[in-house]
Amino acid sequence: MSDPAPLHPYPDALRPDGTPAPHPLLTPVLGLLGTWTGSGRGGYPTLDDTFAYAQEITFSHDGRPFLHYASRAWLLDADGNPLRPSARESGWWRLQPEGRVEALITQPTGVAEIAVGRAADGAIDLATHEVALTSTAKQVDATRRRYTLTDADTLTFEHDLAAVGQPLQHHLSARFRRRGEG
């Protein structure tokens, strides 16, 4: 008789040289695979102060031409200690020919973004195609996200935001190091 609760037979891979082999369309984003941790600073004209935060990001794949993306951030106090949980999001980056990316990203704040862009030469640039909001979400009109691999183990991130009546402008910048496995 078969096991009623079998392990998933197709676990996600966090490395380009793991199993399953990445789909060829993932070639322009292979450098992102894995878990990244780092910290950054953010702000917005509507906020009294800028803030410091830490963040963990994971990109994985299951052999098909999309990445699973998950991010969790937490705010830091002036001494760099955790203050409280902050933004979370997760989604799917669908890779198309010539490094074109279609990303679907959802947040627990009631925001669902579809972003489009391109991955090339270690940089991924995504801009909003459409935003859907739940009835209680804050107004978010657009974002722009730029990820840059400055070397194999270092990732930088810039995030611009058009929201709550403000035009597109800086919300976040961060720098991450690849977290070793095991």
Cα–Cα distance measured from residue 54 to residue 175, given in angstroms and rounded to the nearest whole number? 9
Cβ atoms of 177 and 153 closer than 8 Å: yes
Number of residues counted as binding ligand HEM (CB under 6 A) = 21
Q: Which of 76, 87, 101, 115 binds ligand HEM (CB under 6 A)?
A: 87
Q: DSSP letter at 85? A: E
Q: Specify the stretch interacting with ligand HEM by CB under 6 A; choose among 22-30, 95-103, 118-126, 158-166.
A: 158-166
Q: Which of residues 9-28 bind ligand HEM (CB under 6 A)?
A: none
**CA trace torsion 58, 59, 60, 63 (10° rounding):** 180
- According to the annotation, is 171 in a ligand binding site? yes
Q: Which of 159, 152, 160, 158 is nearest to 177 (CA)?
A: 152
Q: Where are the beta strands (DSSP E) in the chain?
A: 34-42, 51-60, 66-76, 82-95, 100-107, 111-120, 123-133, 140-151, 154-163, 169-178
The minimum distance between CB 164 and ligand HEM, in angstroms, equals: 4
Q: Which of 55, 67, 144, 147 binds ligand HEM (CB under 6 A)?
A: 55
Q: Which of residues 115-154 bind ligand HEM (CB under 6 A)?
A: 138, 140, 143
Which segments are annotated as binding site? 46, 138, 171
Residues contributing to the site for ligand HEM (CB under 6 A): 42, 44, 46-47, 51, 53, 55, 73, 75, 86-87, 111, 113, 138, 140, 143, 161, 163-164, 171-172
Which segments are annotated as binding site for heme b? 46, 138, 171
